[in-house]
Amino acid sequence: MNKTLTYIEAISEALWEEMERDKNVFLLGEDIGAYGGAFKVTKGFHEHFGGERVIDTVLAEEAIIGAATGAAVVGMRPVAEIQFADFITSGFNQLVNNSAKIFWRWNIPVPMVVRLPSGGGIHGGPYHSINPEAWFFHVPGLKLVAPSTPYDAKGLMKAAIRDNNPVLYFESKYLYRRIKGEIPKDDYVVEIGKADVKRKGNDISVITYGTGVHWSLEAAEILSKENIDVEVLDLRSLMPLDTEAIFSSVKKTAKVLLVHEDSLTGGIGGEIAALISDNCFQYLDAPIKRVAALDAPVPYAPTLEEYFLPNAEKVVKALRELEAF
C-alpha cells in the first residue's frame, strides 16, 4: 500500500531510511541538530541518531563542503545541508575545485550529497531565493537532480546518497508543504539521469523541472480546454540529462517550450535549446521558446517577486504563441 507525504516529508523520510540502512550515512549543516534545521527537515534526527551522525557545523559553507568531501574520500556518505542555496557561493571553491575533480585526479569515489533549498515564491529576497543550478551544470564531475514531486524527491534522495559521485540535490522551498503525493511503503529509488513524462501530449512539448513542472501542468490543463494537447516532460535529473527523452518528445510534437525558475540568460534552458537545435532541427515546426525568471536579483516585495518569476499564466501565453506559429 502507498502513503501520502508532502514534498518535505518525503525528503526527510528518505534521509531517515538511508541513515537506518547504512551507518556510513551522516548529516552535517547549520542548525540541523537539536533545532531540526531551518525548515525542520531533520527534526528528531539528533535525538534518534545522536550528535556523531547529525552534526551541527559552524556558519561556514566552505568548511561544510570541505568536511563532507574529506569524509566521502575515506568511505563515508555525508549529506551536507546548505541552509539556503544562495550560500553555496561560500563553498564554491571546495565544491568545484575539489569535490568535482577528485575522482578525475585520483580515481577515488566521492559519495556525497549537497542539499540546496532553492527558489523563490517565499518572499525571501535576493539572498534567500536563487536557483543556482546553472553554475554547476557546467562543472564535469558533479551530478545535479531537481525533483518536482514527493515521489521523485524521496527516490532521487535515496539514489543520490547511494551514488559514488558528488550529487547536488536542488529542492524547491516553495513546494515543501504545498504539494502532497503517494509514496510506496517499500524501498525504491528514482534513477539519476532519467526524465519522466508527467503529462502526455501531441501538440507542444514543455521541457522543465522543479517548480516549473507545476506551472506547466497547470498551463497544460488550461489549454486542454482549447484543444491544445501539451506534453510536460519533467527532467528530474539535470546532469546527466536524459537527451533520449528530450529528443523523443520533440520529434513527436515538433514544438518546444523550455521552462525554468532560474533567470533566462545563461540558464540550463539555453543549453537544452542548443541540443535540440543540433539534433532535432529538421523536426521543428516553430522556433524554440523559453519562459524563465527575469535577469535580475530576486525582489523582496511580493508583487515584484510575482512579476519577476515565471508562472502558469506566462507559460500559457508562450504556448499559445507556439500553437499559433
Q: Which positions are annotated as active-site residues?
A: 128
* Measured distance CA(197)–CA(152) in Å, rounded: 12
* Measured distance CA(323)–CA(227) in Å, rounded: 11
**DSSP at 116:** E
Q: Copy the grid coordinates of residue 187.
A: 524501498
The answer for residues whose C-beta is within 8 angstroms of residue 227's C-beta and 6 or more apart is: none
Identity at 250, one-letter amino acid code? V
∠ CA 211-200-220, rounded to 5°: 50
Strands of the 196-199 sheet, one edge to the other = 196-199, 230-234, 204-208, 256-263, 289-293
Helical residues (DSSP H) of 128-242, grouped into ranges: 133-137, 150-162, 211-224
Q: Is the peptide bond before 117 cis (omega within 30 degrees of 0)?
A: no
